Structure 1
Amino acid sequence: MLRRQDVGHRVVVRRIVGVSQDRTLYSDALGELVDLTETDLTIATSKGTLRVPLHEVHRAKRVPPARRPPAADVVALELAANHAWPAPVQSRLGHWILRAAGNWTGRANSALAVGDPDRTLEAAIDAVVQWYEAHGQRPLINAPMPLAAPVNAALDARGWTARPLTLVQTALLGPLLGRIEPRAELPPVELADSPGDDWFAMVAEHKGTLPPTAVRILTGVPEVVFAHVRDADGSLLAVARGAVTGPDRWLGISLLQTAPAARRRGIAQQVMRGLAQWAAQRGSTRAYLQVEERNTAAVGLYGRIGFTTHHTYLTREAPTG
């Protein structure tokens, strides 16, 4: 049977799905173990997240990992993403990065647990809790998997909960541009150095009210661009943000949103193409984005234009009380 230290690793689970003519029927699932409680286990498979009650599990074991990027590549990408979404308050705990931004987005308000925290794991978690409590915020830890599997196991033991699994997906810009044909019949993608008021308004519909801290995060990157797509009457149809950061010149794509009336017309793909062209002109060759695994529509869109999962992460929340 699986144990807490298996969280973040690739596993195979054989579960009981029924009985036919006095024969027990089984189904096998292969994926990454993302949660294990006293009653259930949850794995992220290629078809989605699967929660299995433990009483249905016939057998379960860890299996060799699929081909994964080296740990150094995961760390480098996470650091590039941190530079592209810069929390105004940051502090170091060894190599870990403690971030606070008035609770606007989990990314900017969680400790990034990559590298050596320069103390025991238990002491590092205690220090994270103390730091966030001093800043008046609930402690959060961003744990990339399987790199931070020991962190996840330690947090499980402390009763920390997990937000939905996030996929960090990447694509090469050259093939991406080849997959997305320009569509002259669609409104053009406008790229601006700063967002318009209606850009902020569309983002606020999804992210909630944007405090000054949010504006600081969104605009506080040296190489950043804001995409707008407008209808003939000037109304906003789609927005997105692109930022190039890190020594590897990663293009980070975020906040891609399309107005409900403009969906399924190919506008989102044209926005991606516009951001990719902008980044390629600045020496970028690769793009990444972060999307919740349960957002199947977005995951499907990104897959069609060449994005694949590089690694995953869980945002862990300290128990209340």
Structure 2
Amino acid sequence: MLRQQDVGYRIVVRRIVGIREGRPLFSDALGDLVELTETHLTMTTARGRLRIPLTEVHRAKRVPPTRRPTAAAVVALELAADEAWPAPVRGRLGDWLLRSADGWSGRANSALPVGDPDRPLPAAVDAVEHWYAQRGRPALVNTPLPLAAPVAAELDARGWTARPPVLVQTAELAPGPPWTAPAGQRDRPPVELTGTPSDDWLAVATDRKGGLPPAARHVLTAVDQVRFAHGYADGTLVAIGRGTITGSGRWLGLSLIEVLPSARRQGLAGQVIRAFADWARASRATHAFLQVEQHNAAAVNLYRQFGFTTHHTYLTRVAPTRGG
């Protein structure tokens, strides 16, 4: 059966659709899994969105992709993502990255175990735990899968828990649809991109992230190529976003795409994304990436409209609390 780690991937489902002469009748569906709950799975197919009760699922499994990203491709994208979300306190363990930002965001407060840590794996995990303990922070490790499967196995043996899976998704910044605004949205005021966030932008981001300590300001702004999107309606800021260009200029990184509740379902998030794409293409970036929690079905569906597909996933692993 399916697991939460399968959200965002292509699956095939054999569904029981009836009974004839005492035997079940089956129907097969092929598509992308966008949500998995205790009672239902939701997938997008060529015919549209399909929500299936688990009681009707006879069999379901992930369909292997025709092309899997190489280990080198996963490492390169993870490093571009790290460059786009830079923690102010950093260390190294061989090739592994150690990052701390006063607890603001999991990405900026976790070790990234890609490459060789220059020591046996158990000793490397010991060193990670020690590095974070010295700083009074809980030890976190982001494990890109399946690349970091050996690390994950070591953490399993130590009783580390896992936060919900995160999808690392990518899309090509090709000209034309879907990157061109629909006709009905072309008369809207353009989204403004600035090199620094306005006070209003920071206020919206603060509401979303539950505060912006000084370390957060560093994470948001300490990138050579960074832009902050401001979308207005009647003079009020109603949509924000953050875009970066990293990875030797190849990757547009999207983060903090947010529309105020009063202005949702009007295409503003798409307008923000298109503004970043225009800026990135003008800077000769060729691809975009983002990181989205697998259970955020609304966001996954939005990004799918722009051609984003899952490149790989990662789990943020959390060290067990030690009694004393």
In the TM superposition, residue 139 of structure 1 has moved relative to its aligned partner by: 0.2
Distance verdict in 2 for CA 1:59–1:198, change over 3 Å: closer
Deviation at 1:48, TM superposition (A): 2.9
Residue 289 of structure 1 and its aligned partner are, at CA, apart by 0.5
Contact kept, 8 Å, 1:180 with 1:270, in 2: the verdict is: no
- Aligned partners of 2:26 and 2:117: how far apart in 1? 43
Residues 99 and 109, structure 1, Cα contact 8 Å, conserved in 2? yes
Quote the RMSD (CA, aligned, Å).
Answer: 3.4
**2:317 & 2:33 partners in 1: Cα distance?**
23
Say which SS state the counterpart of residue 174 (structure 1) adopts: coil
Residue in structure 1 matched with residue 42 of structure 2 by the alignment: none
Q: TM-score, normalised by structure 2?
A: 0.81
Structure 2 counterpart of 1:136: 136
Q: Deviations over 1:41-60 (max 9, x none)?
A: xxxx72434669xxx9x999
* TM-score normalised according to structure 1 size: 0.82
Question: 1:197 corresponds to which residue?
Answer: 199
The 1:275/1:177 distance shift into structure 2, 3 A limit, reads farther
Match of 2:216 among 191, 214, 217: 214
Secondary structure of the corresponding residue to residue 174 of structure 2: helix
In the alignment, what sits opposite 2:81? 81
Aligned to 1:255: 256
Helix, strand or coil at the partner of 1:213: helix
- Alpha-carbon distance in structure 2 between the residues aligned to 1:225 and 1:61: 40
| Structure 1 counterpart of 2:163 | 163
Bigger mean CA deviation after superposition, 195-204 or 147-156? 147-156
- 1:284-295 matches, within 5 Å, as 284-295=285-296
**Paired residue for 1:48, among 35, 43, 46?**
35
The aligned residue for residue 35 of structure 1 is none
Contact 1:180 1:269 in 2 (8 A): no
The separation in 2 between residues aligned to 1:285 and 1:254, in whole angstroms, is 17
Q: Which amino acid aligns with 1:162?
A: A
Q: Which amino acid aligns with 1:231?
A: A
Structure 1 residue 186: Cα displacement? 2.3
CA offsets 1:124-176 (integer angstroms, 9 cap, x no match): 11110000000110000000011111111111111111111100111111157
Q: State how far apart, in whole Å, the 1-side matches of 2:153 and 2:30 are.
A: 20
Letter in structure 1 aligned against 2:155: L
Give the equivalent residue in structure 1 for 2:152: 152
Partner of 1:279: 280
1:67-89 CA-to-partner distances (Å, cap 9, x unmatched) read: 31111011001001101111011
CA-to-partner distance for each residue in 1:245-293, whole Å, 9 max, x for gaps? 1225211010000010111101111110100011111110111010001
Residue 266 of structure 1 aligns with which residue?
267
CA contact (8 A) 2:252 2:289 kept: yes
For residues 59 and 155 of structure 1, what CA distance do their matches in structure 2 show?
Answer: 30
Aligned equivalents of 1:219, 1:24: Cα separation in 2 = 58
| 8 A Cα contact 2:178 2:305, kept in partner | no
Q: Residues 115-134 of structure 1 correspond to what in structure 2 (within 5 A)?
A: 115-134=115-134
Distance 1:64 1:272 in 2: 29
Q: Output the amino acid matched with 1:48.
A: E
Q: Say if 2:226 and 2:243, in contact at 8 Å, map to a contact too.
A: yes
Q: Distance in 2 between matches of 1:105 and 1:190?
A: 26
Assess if the C-alpha contact under 8 Å between 1:168 and 1:309 holds in 2: yes
Q: CA deviation at 1:179?
A: 4.2
Question: Aligned in 2, Cα 1:297/1:49: closer, same or farther, shift over 3 Å?
Answer: same
Alpha carbons 1:249, 1:285 under 8 Å: kept: yes
Q: Which runs of 5+ in 1 are unaligned?
A: 32-44
Q: Is contact 2:163–2:317 with CA below 8 Å preserved after alignment?
A: yes
Q: 1:226 corresponds to which residue? A: 228
The 1:289–1:62 alpha-carbon spacing in structure 2 relative to 1, beyond 3 Å, is closer
Cα separation, 1, equivalents of 2:321 and 2:26: 39
For 1:320, the equivalent position in structure 2 comes to 321
What is the CA-CA distance between 1:27 and the residue it aligns to? 11
The superposition leaves residues 95-150 of structure 1 with CA deviations (integer Å, 9 ceiling, x where unpaired) of 11000010000000000111111111111111100000001100000000111111
Number of corresponding residues: 297
Q: What is the CA deviation profile of residues 204-261 of structure 1, one whole-angstrom value per residue up to 9, with x for unaligned ones?
A: 11101100111111111111000001112x2111000001012252110100000101
SS in 2 for 1:46: strand
Residue 47 of structure 2 corresponds to none
Match of 2:50 in 1: none
Alpha-carbon distance, 1:177 to partner: 5.3
Code of the aligned partner of 2:258: Q
Q: What is the CA–CA distance in structure 1 between the aligned matches of 2:272 and 2:62, rounded to whole Å?
A: 40
Secondary structure of residue in 1 paired with 2:79:
helix
